[in-house]
Amino acid sequence: MCADCQYWRHQLPWFTGRERALFAYQSEIKTYFERFKRQGDYQLKDLFRSDLGRWWAENGQRYDAVVPVPGDDHRSWQRGFEPVTALFETVFPLTPVLAKQGTTAEQAQQDRRTRLMTRQPFAFQPSRGIACQHWRRVLLVDDIYTTGSTLHQAAAVLHGAGITAQMDTFTLAR
C-alpha cells in the first residue's frame, strides 16, 4: 500500500476502497491538463474517451453510483465547462450529489501540506440524489489525484450523510 493510501486509511478508517488511475501524472498528461483545464480547450475532453470506455466496460457493473467531484463554479464559469463532468459524462453514468461550497484556492497552486489542511469544500445535495441508502458500491471520480485530499473530502461528506456503501476512487491521472 502506498504512503498516500496508508495516510488516508489512518485518517478515515472506514474508507477501505480501492484507488485507481488510468495514467501516471507525467509530462504528456501535465501538458494535456494545462491545455484542457488552464487554457479551456474543451475539445480535449474526448481524447481519452476510448480508454475510459474500456475501463468502464470492464469495471462499471460493480457500481451502483458514480459520483463526480465537483469543481469550483467560478473557475468552471471562466473556462466555460466543468472538467470532471466533461471528461466522464459521455462514458460513465454520473450521479451528481455533491456541490462545492464557495471558491477555494486553486489546487495546482498549493503544496501538499496546504492541500491536506484545506477545509471541507463539499456539501451533500440530497435533492440531486437518488435512493442513496440502497447504494452498495460507489465510484468517486475526479480528473487528477495529487494528494488524495479532494477525493477523500468528497468521500467523507458522503459518509457523513449516512452513505455506508463501499467507496472506490478513479481518476484519469495520478
Q: Which amino acid is at 80?
A: G
Going 89 to 92 to 93 to 99, the CA torsion angle's sign is negative
Q: What was the pLDDT predicted at 99?
A: 92
Q: What was the pLDDT predicted at 75?
A: 82
Report the distance separating Cα 48 and Cα 15, nearest Å.
Answer: 28
> Which residues of the chain have a pLDDT value below 50?
none
pTM, 2 dp: 0.87
120 in Cβ contact with 169 (< 8 Å): no
Q: What was the pLDDT predicted at 43?
A: 95
Residue whose C-alpha is closest to residue 108's, from 48, 173, 38 = 38
Q: What was the pLDDT predicted at 108?
A: 57
Q: What SS3 state is found at 112? A: helix
52 in Cβ contact with 88 (< 8 Å): yes
